[in-house]
Amino acid sequence: MDSGGPEPDGGAEPESFAGQNGSPDNPGRLARAYLRSIGDCDGRLLRFYRGEFMWWEGGRFREVPRADFRARLTRFLEGEMERVHQMENRGGDDEDEEEGNDERGGKGAIPVTRSMVDNVIQSLAGHCLLDADTEAPAWINGAVGPDPAGPLAMPNGVLDLEAAADGKPDCLLPPTPDFFVTNATAFDYDPCALEPRQCRRG
């Protein structure tokens, strides 16, 4: 994962579009399919916060560049529309065959338009919304933990500094997107690291 945000892996379990207003390009269906493709079925890794999408990576949430997010979503939608087209050409899934959903009569894949991308982004924003009143650091999604002002986010977990200072072995909490922070160290916590004996001067 890089600073461009989540990258769909293309391996998500396909979702039948039967019952989704009879339309394979239903924005809600496509938003859910996209979240599955990035391994975020419950919308905890990708959040929509104060008008921007943010992705949990390396122990913290970082803002996803709008152009990159839109481009990757567009690429995913093109692949999804092609998947639907191929499924329809071979008769669709069992539910579609029972319902007789072959509305386009053998036409090509549904084109991915600016309007489609905008509608899916709008749906994703609703799925992934984090209240704008939330101030980092904070425990979210109903999670509880030590005073959020105390812990230090690190790639390999959330370090309870007070517990670490007391020498407690359980001072490192598991890494979790339920701890909302936008800053984290670039290095892992190592309880066996040697203490520095002196500071180097330039």
Domain ranges in the chain are 27-130, 138-180
Owner of token pair 């992934």? 128
19 vs 61, higher pLDDT: 61
**Share above pLDDT 90 across residues of the chain, in percent, rounded to a whole number:** 65
Owner of token pair 């209240």? 131
In the structure, what pLDDT confidence band is assigned to residue 101 with cuts at 50, 70 and 90? very low
67 vs 194, higher pLDDT: 67
Span 143-190, pLDDT tens digits: 999 999 999 999 999 999 999 888 888 899 999 999 999 999 999 998
Residue 94: its pLDDT value, please? 45
Main-chain dihedrals φ then ψ at residue 23, nearest 5 degrees? -130, 125
Instruction: Kindly give the pairing relationship between strand 179-180 and strand 172-173.
Output: unpaired
- Contact criterion met (CB below 8 Å) for 65 and 5: yes
DSSP designation for 44: S
Residue 89 CB-density burial (10 A; 0-12 exposed, 13-18 middle, 19+ buried): exposed
Overall average pLDDT of the 66-79 stretch: 98
CA angle, residues 65, 70, 72, in degrees to nearest 5: 95
Span 14-54, pLDDT tens digits: 555 544 455 899 999 999 999 999 999 888 999 999 999 99
87 vs 202, higher pLDDT: 87
Q: Which tokens hold the place of 145?
A: 């933990």
d(CA 1, CA 38) in angstroms, rounded, equals 11
In the structure, what pLDDT confidence band is assigned to residue 132 with cuts at 50, 70 and 90? very high
- Contact criterion met (CB below 8 Å) for 38 and 50: no
pTM: 0.79
